[in-house]
Structure 1
Amino acid sequence: MPTKEPTHADMPNSALAVVVHAAGDLRVEKVDVAVPKPDEAVLDIAYGGICGSDLHYWQHGAAGESILRAPMRLGHEASGTVLIAAADGSGPAAGTPVTIHPATPGGDSARYPADRPNISPGCTYLGSAARFPHSDGTFIEHLTVPTRMLRALPGNLDLRTAALAEPASVAWHAVARAGEVTGRTALVVGAGPIGTLVVAVLKRAGAAHITAVDLQDYPLSIARRIGADQVINAKDTDAISATEADITIECSGHHTGLASAIHGTARGGRVVMVGLLPTGDQPVPISLAITRELDLVGSFRFNDEIDQVVGALADGSLAVEPIITAEYDATEALAAFEKARDATASSKVLLRF
């Protein structure tokens, strides 16, 4: 007999979720599963990646200017399987493995380029406290989500690897902001998960020589495994300055990292700023950027690059396996977060749901 297609009547009422209530207050608790609208599907989440913003909400109750004002479910890096397809027929069928594009572009009176919705002023993101009410994230067993966010996975792409599609898209967008990469030398400052994913994307794009910089040996070892030709400790400022890279991608999110990026870039080169520095003025050597005629370019999230990333992960041309350094059951979320914040012993930490 044919298998009955799951419907809303089969939907679970509650699910295990990872929720931050305040700085230092992370809980694994049962929450209600949102009843889907006609254009929404319900997913069985398989994996969720812990991002730096998740760590900031847990440790500080804020991520940059996004301040926690109420309990919020964390997570925006995820993969899973469609449990209940959308009632309006949009999106993938039940049983389809998917990853998630967590952005909802939006506008107000402020102007932005129509082809760059990632910088639209009203853009919301899953697992973000930028607006209130907050946008709950993907760290839940059963997630209700608009089908426009879903990307079906090729049969040869496993759910574990697909959990990195979102951060890999951030890296892909950053490399695109760097311009032509093939045959050029590149410097990556900050070898955390985004930095090492940038190394992987640069390698795939044909960079002639890639140098990675970090304060810790462990992330530098991951950068080596993922494709860096050279690694430098961030304290060795002379070695960084001697790099003279054509392209530098700053991923540390610290003003000293941006200073290193400027010092390590050749005259006429380009610095792509990915790491989100704290709000307010920053002490960086802008005069050097001026006299060297450096291009300083911002890079924020991504647009449709996730479609290319899914294809590159599936065909193996974008190798990310070394970046996944630990997995924890969702019930052990606090231990997973403790592991993820230790840059001396971890890169990307995944939660299993």
Structure 2
Amino acid sequence: MPGPVTWFREPLPRERLPELRRLLLDLRVDPERGPGWRLAVQALEGGGCVLTMLVSHTIADMRAVSLAVTDAVAGRPFDHGFPAPSWRWSPAMLARDSVESLRALPDVWCALAALARRSRKGRAGLLPSSSRVRSGRDRFEPAVDAPLVPVVMDAGACQQRASDLGVASSTLIMAFAARLAFRIGRVDASGRVKLVMPVSDRRSGDRRGNALRSITVMADPDVCRNDPRALQRDFKAALASLNQHGDDLSPLLPLIPYVPLWLVRHLEQEALGAGLPVGCSLIGELPSDVNRPCGEASLLQASPLERYTASELARIGGVLFIASCRVNEQLSCTVSGYVPDQITSRAELMPFVREALADMGLCGTIG
């Protein structure tokens, strides 16, 4: 169930819009006890407003959210057959949950076996360590949101630049991500960038909240700058391997309802892998109605909002995540990045974004 709509009625100047994320970070979203999602409205000086939809990634991925918004805008009623919250502890619901749990047991045993294999290979640990869970001191630290820089580009111009380089526009965004990672020093010992990308597995009539798998591509940022065709070949090869062999994380997902929170967090980190991964979400083209929740919006952004502490970010070596989506002729790209003691604010991140865009011959409006 959603929470009540949050109204920030004090008008905010448009140049201070980045401050809104700090307010949103304090809004509670809890997929287990609710609310799993909520809306917030911030009034703007001179008229207009910012409408924000906060959704726990446990509840839905971006494709699921876009489908839900599109249905709501079009006035299409939908019923996925889920019972009302008041039925949660009813005998009928308990019986239904018990049957579903029994049906899931084979997958749970397979997941345990997969986790044991990963543990033997040294790729996953079952016990918490100081590098994986919060210390008592961390729990009292204020939340720190990784700085975010939005970039808006003309989709046609981006496509033309990609065609000039002999690649798809999605490959061009991946190359931009690799160059950005290179410029902030998020590379491995050989100078390569580890791009981790979610891949939608959603089919027609799919009711799953998260219908995602993932692939990893190691990118050479120097080669990407002048000739990203090798990156595109590696991306296609990773997709082919995913379709043939599956990914490494999906077999572990049936464990999530049965494990403590610290291990859930560890499994989440497993999705990105060890080292200095760079998240790159290529959402693709979204329906036009996604940009019309209450009239045509001038800008649509999709970005993560994660509660970290400065100590957590220092332990994991910072974060870098790039998400891109297209609505009509507008390509929106959001960059969320944090490097301990180097990039801790939006002003410090923006020059690196400009330089990486220039590396790939891209032009955009940086917000």
Shorter chain as normaliser: what TM range? under 0.3
TM-score normalised by length of structure 1: 0.27
Which of the two has greater helix per residue? Answer: 2
Q: Which has the higher strand share?
A: 1
Task: Give TM-score, length-normalised by structure 2.
Answer: 0.26
